[in-house]
Chains A and B, each alone.
Chain A
Amino acid sequence: MKTNNLKAEETRQEKEIWEPRIIGFLCNWCTYAGADLAGSSRLKYPPNIRVVRVPCSGRVNPQLIIKAFERGFDGVLVSGCHPGDCHYAKGNYFARRRIMLLKQMLEYMGIEPERFHFDWISAAEGQKFAEVVEQFTEQVRKVGPFMGVGAR
């Protein structure tokens, strides 16, 4: 049964039916507004991203990202206000430390570094948001489907 599934996975890949599934944790004050701007400016970006709005990039508990990979997301995007622009003054500085550490650990746990992206995107950068999502989706597409953390 398992081999059947794997085969099905492979054929799907060959036929390029597979689309990367990406989850994005976006800060309410900057990146989420940036995404809004991208939308209202009618900018095109891939529909592969599912957005979760969080109050601040400092709210992004590393567990959320670990959980996303455990549940089999192909890529995770985290984005918040530029350093110095945080609505809560310093939330993104805490985030920066945590994310940096998590990034190293994800790689060490065997998740390709291309599957995780962190960026600073402000509310005015609708264009940048569309570009980042575009690039990141392509990047994840190149690495291919994530077979899950339990694949041996």
Chain B
Amino acid sequence: MRQKAKELLESGEVKVVIGYGQGSAPFKSTPIFIEKPEDAHKLIWNPTCVNNLTVYLRDACRQGKAAIVVKPCDARSIIELIRENQIERDDVVILAMSCPGVLNLDALAEIDLADVKSVEWHQSGIAIKTNAGETIIPSEKAFASKCLSCELAESPIADKKFGEPIERHPIRSKYADIEELEKMLPKERRAYWARQFARCIRCYACRSVCPGCYCKECFTDKPCQLWVLRSTDVESNWFFHFSRAMHTAGRCIACGECERVCPMGIPLMRLNQKMRKEVREMFGEEAGTNPEAPPTLGTFDLKNDPDPCSE
């Protein structure tokens, strides 16, 4: 992958390679933007590469052609960006990695973090090397929850693939969390969400990290339209998160970044997964599969769309 990145930069085909670099600690990675061929060795690929880098793609493509290192799940974001005319297919070189799953930082709770030397994939999970030796964390614990329900053997879109396709055996249902919520009474659900959103500090990290949230100006930032209050109260938070879920309807690919970056630990994927489930059931569409399809809510099906009155 480094070799390919170097070639691309040397030949001048791309202006920048977006990839993962070594973070502040061995168990962390950071997004890096490589512009010189000699810097290509800084690219890394291991279980700590959790970020969805496609969030930078729109800005990068505006400067010129860009190459990007993606996991199969993140590649679906690129399909969504192409589908919604945010980038051109020809403006991006997709370096698709084969990914057994990414690290869930909580899995390191019992390990002395200062001691960690490296984090590598292992056939039965993730191997953490420390001064004391090697610890192998089993898959169910080591991988992020989205990886446990992942069905993607390889990237759905790619210019160059690295590694072999991976046989998937999801050990967790995608909709496990939301089914639990669906069983509650409406009143209980309302109280549940009120409790969750009461914690929100509206740092907008969920919005910043989302590849689907690409509006130049968000409705929350418009001072003339008081959709949400500047201060955080449950009502405004509720409105913000509900609206954001509606805005990403049909384009959310469930990369789980919003939930991962939330400093207050709000289970935002329970909102997004529900939306994805409804879109799939009602319109038979799945975000991140077909770059040619018109946006889900920007089209309609005369005959097959369900009618809200017939219920």
Chain A residues close to B by CB (< 8 Å): 62-63, 66-67, 70-71, 83, 90, 93-94, 96-105, 107-113, 118-120, 148-152
Query: Is the pair B278, A63 in contact by a Cβ cutoff of 8 Å?
Result: no
Query: Is the pair B186, A63 in contact by a Cβ cutoff of 8 Å?
Result: no
Main SS at interface, chain A: helix
B169 at the interface (CB under 8 A from A): no
Specify which of A70, A94, A111 is in contact with B186 (CB 8 Å cutoff).
A111
Query: Is the pair A63, B190 in contact by a Cβ cutoff of 8 Å?
Result: no
In the complex, 15 of the A-B residue pairs with CB atoms within 8 angstroms, ordered by the A residue number, are A70-B238, A93-B300, A93-B305, A94-B297, A94-B298, A98-B297, A100-B306, A100-B307, A101-B282, A108-B181, A109-B238, A110-B193, A111-B190, A120-B309, A151-B191
Main SS at interface, chain B: helix
CB neighbours of B195 from chain A (8 A): 152
Query: Is the pair B182, A152 in contact by a Cβ cutoff of 8 Å?
Result: no
Which of A99, A101, A103 is most buried by chain B, counting CB atoms within 10 A of its CB? A101
Query: Is the pair B191, A152 in contact by a Cβ cutoff of 8 Å?
Result: yes
User: Number of B interface residues, CB 8 Å?
Assistant: 44
Chain B residues close to A by CB (< 8 Å): 178, 181-182, 184, 186-195, 198, 219, 227, 233-236, 238-239, 242-243, 245-246, 249, 274-275, 278-279, 282-283, 296-298, 300, 302, 305-309
Given A63-B239, A101-B246, 11 more pairs with CB closer than 8 A: A66-B242, A70-B235, A98-B297, A100-B282, A101-B249, A105-B242, A105-B278, A109-B242, A149-B234, A150-B235, A151-B190
A105 vs B193: C-alpha distance when bound (angstroms) = 12
